[in-house]
Structure 1
Amino acid sequence: MNDIRRDFLRAPGGSAYAFGPAVSIELAPEQARGFAPRADCFAPGSRVFLTHLAGKPEALQIDAALRIKEMGYVPVPHLAARNFRTAQDYVDLVQAHSRNGIGEALFLGGNPALFPGPMAEAAQLLAHPVLSDSAIRTAFVAGYPEGHPAIVEAALADALRRKLEICADRSLEARVVSQFAFDGDMIGDWARNLHTLHSGLSVHVGLAGVTSLTKLIRFAMMCGVGPSLAALRRSASGLFNVIADRNPAEILETMAANYPAPLGPLHLHFFPFGGWEKTLAWLSDYRELSLSRVNER
């Protein structure tokens, strides 16, 4: 690895957080056909989350999940309550994934304030009887390190508690995967708090992958990421830093320094806004550099 590549990694402290199959990535279903990472960049058995967007044919997600599974990865389709026009549409999608042996899913409320169907919350999806006879036995739910722009903190905590209780009642393994943020200290505090309140809970921390500052800001505003945008903007000064690709090393290092000995399982989940190729190439180099630092100690 050359010096320029090392500088790009910007990983001064090293991280003890999980790599290998514990690292996951998010794709749109239409990206699955072109998804072909090298095993040294993204290990077989790793999770691939697949988005569920209003207006997109759900057959795209069904086909993508099956393709990802046949490639040797673990597909995790998003199921967004507010995107279903009827409860039967939700049942049909769960059953289609079950026929294909899909065992994990992310349960979301969804974003639209106005929506056509009867369901608005992830808890309604989790409580639906269709899951009892489905192949889905691992349920991811959403976490928000810097809060939610439309939901107060107490309500967020109550909603998470309720979803975890539903999962326990239905013998579903519950995991939390977070929205991305740009303040490593804030993310570390959030993960520590979750582990303190919910012993043994697996937490998958969302990080924006390698992309330009302008793209990061645009996606952050689209996704409702707010307070930590100031930290991202402060880290950029000068024209080069604005146009150059950013990577999550600095955020990851700050988080690791803030929360160096996790009280429960803590993993990494990447949103590859600049393309999965860039993010997974960076991840491979970051892993290599981290291991070399460990071997030098």
Structure 2
Amino acid sequence: MPAPGSLRTEAFINTFSLEVSAKAMPALRAEADRIPRGTTISIPYLASEDDDARLAAARTVRALGFEPMPHLSARRIGSRVALERFLERAASEAGVEQCLVIAGDLATPAGPFADSISIIEAGLLERSGIKVVGVGGHPEGHPVMSSDDRWQALEGKCRAIETRGMAPVIITQFAFDADIVLTWLAVLRARGVNVPVLVGVPGPASITRLMRYAAMCGVGASASMLARYGVSIGRLLGTAGPEIFVDRLVQGLTDAHGLVSPHLFPFGGIAPSLDWMEQYRRRASGAGR
């Protein structure tokens, strides 16, 4: 009989979501048979891709048997009409019922939406048939928000989503230190926020690529934090996978942490990320025998 720890590991690793950009849809199509049907595929909002590309990606995701979750970048949306048109097309063309709302990286909004709560409160999501709304979580902090402001904003967004008859889910930025994530989850639950959490997990990639993405996304990547992840600054030409991070995270999770699953960022490619998932799953199954 598998040990309780291995059961928890298998349950954790077998329920995952995946972040795939519009330009990576050919790679997703090539690996689709390795991904369980119904898996949520999160489609990031990249400035280099337009709405047509994002909608084409959502259609591909749906055609492959997965659940598309396009991102809505508030400050990059030019008008209420543009958002309404995108949501209508997403629903009619790809059956989209989930989305992730983020503020976006523009200093000055391009239109009427200054932050993610302004999209939630616009009334367009539920009117377009959206049932699940993702919001961002930042276990390692936020570059421009204090801790108190960050918690208040997260709690307010979850309440607003529920008030409008939709289900909130929190998707965290990827991280390198599992203990920081566990502490953040404990505080989240202590504050009475009991919605599902998808913890960002970096897929296997070169160390230089991981550090580049960390710098782009404002993720902490100090030498001590990377060492806890299993990366030595002295060997930047190597590659690293998240097994140490996932091991520590799963070992630390308890029922008190609520519903938690991994959200995989395939920085090194979709195929290597799925290879890692399969190897980790086999290791977890073998450990329980």
**Aligned twin of 1:72:** 65
Which runs of no fewer than 5 residues in structure 2 stay unpaired?
1-5
Q: Deviations over 1:202-255 (max 9, x none)?
A: 00000111101111111100101126664115643376x422221111011122
Letter in 2 for 1:249: E
Question: Aligned to 1:31, which of 14, 24, 37?
Answer: 24
Question: 1:14 offset after TM fit, Å?
Answer: 7.9
**Aligned twin of 1:128:** 122
**Aligned twin of 1:54:** 47
Contact 1:146 1:227 in 2 (8 A): no
Q: How many residues are matched?
A: 281
Question: Aligned to 1:95, which of 85, 88, 98?
Answer: 88
Question: 1:88 offset after TM fit, Å?
Answer: 1.4
Query: C-alpha separation between the residues in 2 aligned to 1:115 and 1:98?
Result: 25
Question: TM-score when scaled to structure 2?
Answer: 0.90
Structure 1 pair 49–90 and aligned structure 2 pair: CA distance change class (3 A)? same
Query: C-alpha separation between the residues in 1 aligned to 2:220 and 2:7?
Result: 27
Provide the alpha-carbon RMSD of the alignment.
2.1
Query: C-alpha separation between the residues in 2 aligned to 1:181 and 1:199?
Result: 20
Q: Deviations over 1:137-182 (max 9, x none)?
A: 1001000011101111111111111111111111101000000110
Question: 1:87 offset after TM fit, Å?
Answer: 1.8
Which runs of no fewer than 5 residues in structure 1 stay unpaired?
1-11
Contact 1:16 1:260 in 2 (8 A): no
Contact 1:19 1:268 in 2 (8 A): yes
Query: C-alpha separation between the residues in 2 aligned to 1:193 and 1:207?
Result: 20
Identity level (%) = 26
Structure 1 pair 259–34 and aligned structure 2 pair: CA distance change class (3 A)? closer
Query: C-alpha separation between the residues in 1 aligned to 2:106 and 2:11?
Result: 34
Which residues of 2 match residues 229-240 of structure 1 at below 5 A? 230-233=224-227, 235-237=230-232
Deviates more, 1:190-199 or 1:23-32: 190-199
- Matched residue SS, 1:37: helix
- Matched residue SS, 2:9: coil
